[in-house]
Amino acid sequence: MLPVSITTELLRRLTAQVAGTRAETWPLTEVYTGEVITQLPQSSPDDIVAAFAAARAAQKTWAAWSVKRRLEVFKRYHALLLERAEITTDLIQAESGKARQMAFEETCDVPIVVSHYLKRAAKLLAPAKHGGPVPFMSYSTEIRVPKGVVGIISPWNFPFATGISDAIPALMAGNGVVLKPDNKTALSPLYGVAMLYEAGLPEGLMQVVCGEGPDVGPTLVDNANYVMFTGSTATGRIIGEQAGRNLIGCCLELGGKNPMIVLPDANLDEVVKGALFGCYGNTGQICMHIERLYVHDSIYADFRDRFVAATSALHLSAAYDYTADVGSLISPDHLQRVSSHVEDAVAKGATVLVGGKARPDIGPAFFEPTVLEGVTADMLAGSCETFGPVVALHRYTSVDEAIALANDTDYGLNASVWGGDIAAAEAVARRIESGNVNVNDSLATAYASKGTPSGGVKQSGVGARHGDQGLLKYTDCQNVGVLKKQIMGPQPNQDYAAYAKQTLTSLKLMRRTGLR
């Protein structure tokens, strides 16, 4: 049974925000039971064009507001986010099937992002004056101009955190936004948008369009001034190619096959606890979650036994309370993908130490947390992103070997290193080819550090969210240069040879004095 907060009236208000009046709908289901929660309207290409036109009209007024006035909206929004966290948690849990602990933690991401950029946005968006080519007689001003209307395509695994958190800096910078959430998890981002309007966002500035990716994605990219996408590497390539043809920028956070290295001096009690979250948090459906675990040979057997015992003790549940350690996968289709990776590994010689089975007795998309041993590169679980509660254990004998194994992938989104000597562990971390590396944590420390950009390298993405870069990417830089007097070039009665000599002398003097 759905939580009492998810009323028929709430669902009506949320789905009414979807752009367009098309009769076609998509059955959005409660993952725990498979029962339909609501019929989600689907946007046509014409609806998407109209959504961009409405957002563009509203953006002209919004961009003319002072930064201070825009930020007042987000101060009110921050308060609403905290006040309504329980309802947001209910929506996230119903549409995604994740354990309530993880659903609640997802609600916290947005106010943290809002709070960070409330402190940074005014400084980042303020005009910055720089020296010009001629000291004292020239200067230039760096002016941050909003891109226009940003298209955001958010995934189903963290629909509220990515859909809304990625929109915050874009809106603060003066842009409009057209958001396309995944059909399966559109309710929580729609609720986030509703709260934005309640906080004072100008009508029409943020639009929501819904539909399957191939149906609506191309039109969205064609109408956007910038695109933010979180999802698979395969889809990211398509979006990146289209953005390139349109000569617009894009930020792509894509897949990962993330490693964890456990050094010989690591505290195994802490490692086991961290690995449980890193491997099974959100039922393994986190872009930055751990799928490859490398443990030094001297502690391998001890760690394996502890980790297997801890994994077997995890509680799976479909309850709307905080008792569950692990929730559901997103859908029966995704369960089949996860199952196929485990079955392929076993068929090719891997061993299941714990788990490895679906749990239809709990719900249609539940799968047991699973530890594999003997996984090799020719197995699906050895090279492809499983995106489920499945982790492979591996031994190593030297740090160089562990680093080589960790880097032996086309991906580079997240990694984890555990050790008692922090400096030594950090030295290992710096040798890993990954956009994010956590020392003595699995993933949360890097991602939750909103002051530092977070993104992938290699096939895990282009660009980053968070940090100054996470806001400035939504702006163009206008360079306004001012020359107070026409003094560049030869002066009257001065030939060019004399001017060239004078210029070289001036450049040497400016370098010596530090003027340039």
- Name, in order, each residue with C-beta under 8 angstroms of 131's C-beta and a sequence gap of 6 or more: 138, 139, 140, 515, 516
Residue 22: the pLDDT is: 67
Catalytic residue status for 210: no
Measured from the Cβ of residue 132, the count of other Cβ atoms closer than 10 Å reads: 18
List the strands of the sheet with 138-146, edge to edge.
128-131, 138-146, 475-483
Return the SS3 of 389: coil
pLDDT score at 515: 83
Which alpha helices (DSSP H) does 154-232 contain, by range? 159-165, 167-172, 187-198, 213-223
**Quick one: pLDDT band at residue 395, thresholds 50, 70, 90?**
very high
Element (H, E) at 113: helix 100-125
User: Which among 287, 291, 368, 385 is annotated as catalytic?
Assistant: 287
Q: Could you tell me whether strands 128-131 and 138-146 are parallel, antiparallel, or unpaired per DSSP bridges? A: antiparallel
Kindly report, residue by residue over 276-294, the tens digit of the pLDDT: 999 999 999 999 999 999 9
DSSP state of 454: B
347 to 176, 232, 336, 409, 416: CA distances (angstroms): 51, 26, 16, 23, 29
What are the residues facing 391 on neighbouring strands? 371
| pLDDT digit string, tens, across residues 43-80 | 999 999 999 999 999 999 999 999 999 999 999 999 99
Q: Tell me the C-alpha distance between 158 and 152, whole Å.
A: 14
Instruction: Give the CA dihedral 505, 507, 510, 511, nearest 10 degrees.
Output: -110
Q: pLDDT by residue (tens digit) across 262-280?
A: 999 999 999 999 999 999 9
Whether residue 118 is predicted with pLDDT greater than 90 in this model: the reply is: yes
The reply to whether 253 belongs to the active site is: yes
Residues 220-230: what's their mean pLDDT? 98
Percent pLDDT > 70 in the chain is 100
What CA–CA distances, in Å, run from 411 to 226, 274, 278? 24, 22, 17
Q: Determine how β-strand 436-439 pairs with β-strand 414-418.
A: parallel
As given in the structure block, the two tokens for residue 209 are 């369009």
- Mean pLDDT, the chain, integer: 97
CA-to-CA dists, residue 399 to 122, 263, 264, 414, 431, angstroms? 45, 8, 10, 18, 10
What is the Cα–Cα distance from 459 to 280, expressed in whole angstroms?
A: 23
- 176-205 pLDDT, tens digit each: 999 999 999 999 999 999 999 999 999 999
- Beta strand spans in 7-122 (E): 25-29, 36-41
